[in-house]
């Protein structure tokens, strides 16, 4: 059921959810507008404090989330069908896959696909003592990229979805993040004060996360427009792009789940698959396959070691204290822990949104579709585009007549000169009809963000209504409010802090969600161990 703004007011708006985010980001936007230097200095201070003092908890928490999902896969609780034994799926497997993939992937995978493997191979973490540009550096670079974009981050989406879906479909909880505490506390978790705190923190986190992702999109689209049409990369360009994107995902969100998001995700998923296939076919296919096999082996063999690397010592062998260190000295915090907490800023909302697709599926099926499959997609994406970028870097003689580095001596040098955001458009020059594909890539970036922002806006808008039971879509006014907040915040982050500013604010937004996720998982495990053999739980299971 869709409702009007008048009906939403009658049901009750949630001032805590709305005002908390409005006050925090209103303050940040004001500071960033008046004094950008003060803004980025303030964010830096908060980032350093959080990562030095809490980086270890981020790594342990993320590892714990992965163990929890493996527990769900192999424990009998995984046979519980969401909605009960007689519930029927409302989405076929393709739609489920497409929406789940695109709602959480945003623009990040397109932005970083060729960048991370190249950057890490040329500038590996100093404490590893791996020489730049060597075979070991290449394998290490891809293994680290897999760590950042596969099983670890997608676990942070899936853990919230598993718990909230069980509570919503099988225990009659409300459509809210706080529903994740219902298994342990029952309807007490639905109390206004508790639900308000949890959902207010979630709204703040997703606004920061979504705004940060839009910042990446603004940089990449601006770079593409500059490459294709000579449009300057300047503040006015960022503003215009932002307005267009915000208007697009707002309109899409207003059209509803079964029109906007379903249609966009279908087209977006096909575009992802098409560009991957073309890059593989026209790129160094044999090299990519060999590199994939060797790097995925390294990834799994060193997974525990890499996920728990927290830079206890800097590269001079000194104990890390509470002072500022450069990103090279705090490599793990600036890259590994940053990515984990970055994805956490999206975790509750993506998990909450994804349960709309999961009715009639078992918890085990949910974990496979929302954790294992998108994680493997991420691995394959980075193997293809990372492998392509690495081959251009270290075997450029084979590409000299295809890829124009515009006077730069290497692909890495080109990236340093023209920015990370220019990389995807450059590496696809190996494809014969790349001039057609460049606008296609820009469209992919736009659709990726619009799909993610669409699902985010729809979900957080529903959370803004006190009694949201039975409501499929929130009123247009509420959706426009959230879209404007995210768009304005993303502009400030982009104009004042560029990529580092974007990374910092996403970290700050996601850190409170880490604590929430750890507590929610622990309580749900206690609940399962205590009640999984109860008759009412057994009746929810299928063979």
CATH number at residue 381: 1.20.1740
Look at residue 157 and tell me whether its pLDDT is greater than 90.
yes
| 353-373 average pLDDT score | 93
In a domain, 319, yes or no: no
Helices marked H in 75-130 — which ranges? Answer: 93-105, 108-112, 115-122
Per-residue pLDDT band for 324 (boundaries 50, 70, 90) equals very low
Alpha-carbon distance 139 to 147, whole Å? 12
Look at residue 2 and tell me whether its pLDDT is greater than 70.
no
pLDDT per residue over 167-199, tens digit each? Answer: 999 998 888 888 899 888 877 766 767 778 888
In a domain, 325, yes or no: no
Q: What is the pTM of this model?
A: 0.87
Per-residue pLDDT band for 281 (boundaries 50, 70, 90) equals very high
C-beta separation of 157 from 370 below 8 A? yes
Look at residue 539 and tell me whether its pLDDT is greater than 60.
yes
What local confidence, expressed as pLDDT, does residue 32 receive? 67
Look at residue 379 and tell me whether its pLDDT is greater than 80.
yes
Per-residue pLDDT band for 440 (boundaries 50, 70, 90) equals confident
Alpha-carbon distance 150 to 145, whole Å? 8
In a domain, 406, yes or no: yes
Instruction: Say what percent of the chain tops pLDDT 90.
Output: 36
Per-residue pLDDT band for 318 (boundaries 50, 70, 90) equals low
Q: How far is CA 433 from the centre of its chain?
A: 30
Strands of 409-539 (E only): list them. Answer: none
| 137-151 average pLDDT score | 96
C-beta separation of 480 from 259 below 8 A? no
Helix (H) or strand (E) run with residue 237 in it? helix 235-255
Which are the contacts of 124, defined by CB distance < 8 A and separation ≥ 6? 130, 131, 132, 137, 140, 141
Structure tokens at 157: 């989406």
Q: What mean pLDDT, rounded, does the chain reach?
A: 84
| 256-267 average pLDDT score | 68
The answer to whether the Cα torsion of 432, 435, 439, 442 is positive or negative is positive
Look at residue 380 and tell me whether its pLDDT is greater than 70.
yes
The residue that leads in pLDDT, 344 or 314, is 344
In a domain, 447, yes or no: yes
Query: Which of 316-330, 421-435, 495-509 has maximum average pLDDT?
Result: 421-435
The whole domain housing 489 covers 5-314+330-538
> Which long-range contacts (C-beta less than 8 Å, at least 24 apart) are formed by 365-370?
366/82, 366/158, 366/161, 366/162, 366/165, 367/69, 367/72, 367/73, 367/78, 367/158, 367/162, 368/73, 369/93, 369/96, 369/97, 369/100, 370/100, 370/154, 370/157, 370/158, 370/161
3-state helix, strand, coil in the chain (%, to 5): 80, 0, 20
The pair phi, psi for residue 85, each rounded to 5°, is -60, -35
| 405-430 average pLDDT score | 91
Alpha-carbon distance 126 to 166, whole Å? 45
Per-residue pLDDT band for 265 (boundaries 50, 70, 90) equals confident
3-state secondary structure of 451: helix
In a domain, 323, yes or no: no
| 46-71 average pLDDT score | 90
Look at residue 487 and tell me whether its pLDDT is greater than 60.
yes
HEC assignment per residue over 126-164: HHHCCCCCCHHHHHHHHHHHHHHHCHHHHHHHHHHHHHH
Number of separate domains in the chain: 1
Structure tokens at 248: 């697009």
- Name which of 480, 29, 1, 481 is nearest 248 in CA terms: 480
Give the CA distances from residue 468 to residues 10, 41, 460, 471, 472, in Å, rounded to whole numbers and listed in that order. 11, 40, 11, 5, 8
Instruction: Say what percent of the chain tops pLDDT 70.
Output: 90
What local confidence, expressed as pLDDT, does residue 259 receive? 61
Per-residue pLDDT band for 322 (boundaries 50, 70, 90) equals very low
In a domain, 59, yes or no: yes
| 401-418 average pLDDT score | 92
In a domain, 324, yes or no: no
- Comparing 137-146, 209-218, 508-517, the range with the smallest average pLDDT is 209-218
Look at residue 323 and tell me whether its pLDDT is greater than 50.
no
The residue that leads in pLDDT, 249 or 386, is 386
| 214-243 average pLDDT score | 83
The residue that leads in pLDDT, 380 or 272, is 380
Rg of the chain in Å (alpha carbons): 22
What local confidence, expressed as pLDDT, does residue 145 receive? 97
In a domain, 96, yes or no: yes
What local confidence, expressed as pLDDT, does residue 284 receive? 93
Which are the contacts of 240, defined by CB distance < 8 A and separation ≥ 6? none
Look at residue 317 and tell me whether its pLDDT is greater than 60.
no
Look at residue 229 and tell me whether its pLDDT is greater than 50.
yes
Look at residue 534 and tell me whether its pLDDT is greater than 60.
yes
Look at residue 451 and tell me whether its pLDDT is greater than 80.
no
C-beta separation of 90 from 359 below 8 A? yes
| 305-312 average pLDDT score | 87
């Amino acid at each position: 059921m869709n409702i009007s703004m008048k009906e939403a007011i009658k049901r009750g708006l949630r001032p805590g959810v709305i005002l908390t985010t409005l006050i925090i980001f209103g303050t940040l936007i004001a500071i960033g507008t008046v004094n950008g230097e003060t803004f980025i200095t303030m964010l830096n201070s908060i980032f350093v404090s959080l990562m030095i003092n809490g980086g270890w908890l981020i790594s342990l928490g993320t590892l714990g989330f992965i163990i929890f999902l493996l527990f769900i896969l192999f424990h009998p609780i995984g046979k519980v069908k969401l909605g009960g034994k007689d519930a029927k799926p409302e989405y076929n497997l393709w739609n489920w896959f497409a929406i789940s993939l695109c709602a959480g992937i945003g623009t990040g995978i397109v932005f970083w696909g060729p960048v991370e493997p190249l950057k890490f191979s040329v500038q590996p973490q100093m404490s590893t003592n791996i020489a730049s540009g060597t075979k070991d550096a290449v394998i290490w670079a891809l293994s680290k990229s897999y760590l950042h974009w596969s099983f670890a981050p997608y676990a942070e989406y899936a853990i919230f979805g598993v718990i909230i879906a069980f509570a919503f479909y099988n225990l009659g909880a409300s459509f809210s993040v706080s529903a994740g505490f219902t298994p342990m506390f029952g309807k007490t978790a639905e109390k206004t004060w508790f639900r308000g705190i949890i959902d207010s923190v979630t709204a703040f986190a997703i606004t920061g996360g979504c705004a940060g992702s839009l910042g990446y999109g603004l940089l990449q689209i601006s770079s593409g427009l500059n490459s294709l049409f000579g449009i300057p990369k300047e503040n006015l360009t960022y503003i215009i792009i932002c307005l267009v994107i915000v208007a697009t995902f707002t309109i899409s969100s207003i059209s509803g789940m079964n029109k906007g998001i379903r249609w966009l995700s279908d087209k977006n998923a096909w575009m992802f698959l098409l560009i991957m296939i073309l890059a593989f076919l026209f790129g160094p296919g044999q090299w990519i396959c060999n590199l994939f096999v060797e790097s995925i082996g390294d990834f799994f063999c060193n997974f525990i070691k890499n996920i728990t690397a927290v830079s206890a010592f800097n590269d001079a062998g000194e104990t890390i204290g509470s002072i500022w260190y450069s990103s090279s000295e705090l490599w793990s915090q600036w890259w590994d822990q940053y990515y984990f907490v970055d994805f956490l800023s999206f975790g509750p909302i993506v998990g909450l949104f994804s349960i709309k697709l999961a009715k009639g599926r078992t918890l085990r099926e949910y974990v496979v579709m929302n954790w294992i499959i998108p994680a493997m997609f991420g691995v394959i994406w980075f193997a293809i585009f990372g492998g392509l970028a690495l081959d251009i870097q270290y075997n450029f003689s084979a590409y000299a007549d295809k890829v124009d580095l515009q006077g730069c001596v290497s692909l890495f040098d080109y990236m340093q000169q023209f920015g990370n955001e220019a990389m995807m458009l450059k590496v696809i020059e190996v494809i014969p009809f790349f001039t057609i594909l460049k606008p296609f890539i820009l469209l992919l970036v736009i659709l990726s963000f619009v799909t993610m922002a669409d699902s985010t806006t729809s979900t957080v808008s529903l959370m803004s209504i006190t009694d949201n039971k039975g409501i499929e879509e929130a009123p247009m006014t509420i959706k426009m409010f959230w879209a404007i907040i995210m768009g304005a915040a993303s502009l400030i982050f982009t104009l004042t802090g560029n990529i580092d500013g974007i990374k910092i604010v996403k970290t700050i937004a996601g850190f409170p969600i880490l604590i929430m996720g750890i507590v929610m998982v622990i309580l749900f495990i206690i609940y399962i161990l205590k009640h999984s053999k109860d008759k009412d739980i057994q009746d929810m299971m299928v063979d």
